[in-house]
Amino acid sequence: MQDVLSLDDGKTWYLLDSQEEASEEGLVMANSTGLDYMQESGRLVRQYREQTHRDFRTMHAEELYVRRRRALFFSLRGPQGERLVSGRLPRGMEPGEILFVAYANHDPYVEHAGALIELGKLYGFDLRRGIAYPGGYPYDSLRGKALVARPATIPRCPEPPGR
């Protein structure tokens, strides 16, 4: 996990680097971060294998291919390390979807709008409410804007007792 942006209020954005980190994030935050990470990686592996003849020498190249094209997955942590928001941005010129959610797929803008806007500025994305939440909007990296917005329904998980 890499620290990518520290904010004035003590919150920090981290870039999730591995399947294990994304899976843990998804479990703790009761959202689909880990599943999205795994599906994105699997799609890219299949894409790479269709384009190349796979042998022992290309296994490292396959890993690099996936790392360079997989969406960027993030976690916003509070001053004490508590998880606040998780989500993803498309990487570079690759088309993709923008999605950010708080615990149990709730609206992250209620408490963390400023942090989302700052992350968007760092990576050159417009992360206003409605683009990053409810999310799942296709993003055209070449034009730097959301494509035609489609309605997205995000299932909500019930709040656990004592939260």
Q: Which residues of 99-111 are buried (b: 16+ CB within 10 A; e: fewer)?
A: bbbbbbbbbbbee
Q: For residue 162, is it within any domain?
A: no
Q: For residue 101, is it within any domain?
A: yes
> What pLDDT sits at residue 57?
63
Q: For residue 85, is it within any domain?
A: yes
- 118-125's contacts with Cβ under 8 Å and 24+ in sequence apart are 118/5, 118/7, 118/13, 119/4, 119/5, 119/13, 119/74, 119/76, 122/4, 122/5, 122/13, 123/72, 123/89, 125/89, 125/98
Q: For residue 160, is it within any domain?
A: no
Q: Contact 17/2 with Cβ under 8 angstroms?
A: yes
β-pairing, 145-146 vs 2-6, is unpaired
> What pLDDT sits at residue 130?
77
User: How far separated are the first and last CA of the chain, in Å rounded?
Assistant: 26
Helix or strand holding residue 21 (H, E): helix 19-29
Q: For residue 151, is it within any domain?
A: no
**Best CA proximity match to 1, nearest among 19, 10, 11:** 19
Q: For residue 110, is it within any domain?
A: yes
Strands (E) in the chain, as ranges, are 2-6, 12-15, 72-77, 83-89, 96-102, 137-140, 145-146
pTM greater than 0.85 (yes/no): no
> What pLDDT sits at residue 162?
53
For residue 63, the enclosing domain spans 2-146
Higher pLDDT pick, 66 / 16: 16
| Domain count along the chain | 1
Q: For residue 129, is it within any domain?
A: yes
β-pairing, 12-15 vs 137-140, is unpaired
Q: For residue 35, is it within any domain?
A: yes
Instruction: Indicate the average pLDDT of the chain.
Output: 79
The pLDDT tens digits of the residues spanning 65-120 come to 888 888 899 999 999 999 999 999 988 656 667 889 899 888 898 899 999 999 99
